[in-house]
Amino acid sequence: MNFNDSSRRRFLQGFTATAAGLWVPGAFAEALQPTPKQTEGPFYPVDLPLDTDNDLIVVNDGLTPAVGEVTHLSGRILDAKGDPIRNAMVEIWQVDHHGVYLHKGSNKHDKRDKNFQGFGRFLTGSTGEYYFRTIKPVSYPGRTPHIHFAVKMKGRDKWTTQCYIKGEKQNERDGVIRGIKDEKQRAAVIVDFAPVKGSKTGELAARFDIVMGFTPAG
């Protein structure tokens, strides 16, 4: 499928409007579970790709999409009170369908899918929303499938975490997940990758809200 700019904008506007309609400032703040901070890992790209937009399926103006299960990954960046954080730079990076990172030190780098961007960025607006079009993560030796996240904000250190697939059996054996001792915090980074209703190509959608453990200064 060729997911052009106008289609991407319509999708983004659709889920942003839905989220904005359900969001109430400070609502359920006491029930919010801070997202646990996790290791960045060794494969954050040393050399960033020329294309760093939020569509990881197509590189620049390429016509051949990446191999994998297309996933619409979205969520909000929230502060400790549940209010959205704007102007947060959200970055993701992950392996391709073959289990290879963009990083040159990744195993079997010569087998990497050249049509998969491997890294993307999105700057949040007033609703704190972010959106990426990527692929469902796959495993690589020693790790369960996951997507790395970094959140960058002016005046603060880079904050990193990872998200995982709900129901993935390898989660139980993954050392990074097991390192999260609090059950509620562990559950907060495991999300459902669900089929998109009406999709004829088997696309998925996943939602991962990131709750930062602070409230930005006014």
- The upper half-sphere exposure of residue 191, i.e. CA atoms within 13 Å in the direction of its Cβ, equals 24
Question: Beta strands of 83-127 (E only): which ranges?
Answer: 89-93, 119-123
CA 45 → CA 79, 182, 200, distances in Å?
27, 30, 33
pLDDT at 30 over 60: no
Q: Was domain 5-21+35-211 assigned CATH 3.40.50.300?
A: no
pLDDT higher than threshold 80 for residue 144: yes
Domain boundaries, the chain: 5-21+35-211
Q: What is the distance between the alpha carbons of residues 97 and 140, in angstroms, rounded to a whole number?
A: 10
**Range in 25-29, 77-81, 105-109, 120-124 with the lowest mean pLDDT:** 25-29
Provide the 8-state DSSP code for 208. -
- Greater confidence, 72 or 214? 72
Give this prediction's pTM: 0.86
Q: What is the per-residue pLDDT across 53-68, written as a single tens digit (0 to 9) for each?
A: 999 999 998 889 999 9
- Give the separation between CA 132 and CA 54, rounded to whole angstroms: 5
Q: From the CB of residue 134, how many other CB atoms can be counted at a distance below 10 Å? A: 27
Three-class secondary structure assignment of 120-186: EEEECCCCCEEEEEEECCCCECCECCEEEEEEECCCCCCEEEEEEECCCHHHHHCHHHHCCCCHHHH
pLDDT for 20 equals: 43
- Coil, strand, or helix at residue 8? helix
pLDDT value of residue 9:
46
Q: Given this model, what pLDDT does residue 28 score? A: 43
The predicted-structure confidence for 146-192, as pLDDT tens digits, reads as follows: 999 999 999 999 999 999 999 999 999 999 999 999 999 999 999 99
- CB within 8 Å of 105: residues ≥ 6 apart: 42, 43
In the chain, the amino acid numbered 159 is W
Residue indicated by tokens 């939020």: 54
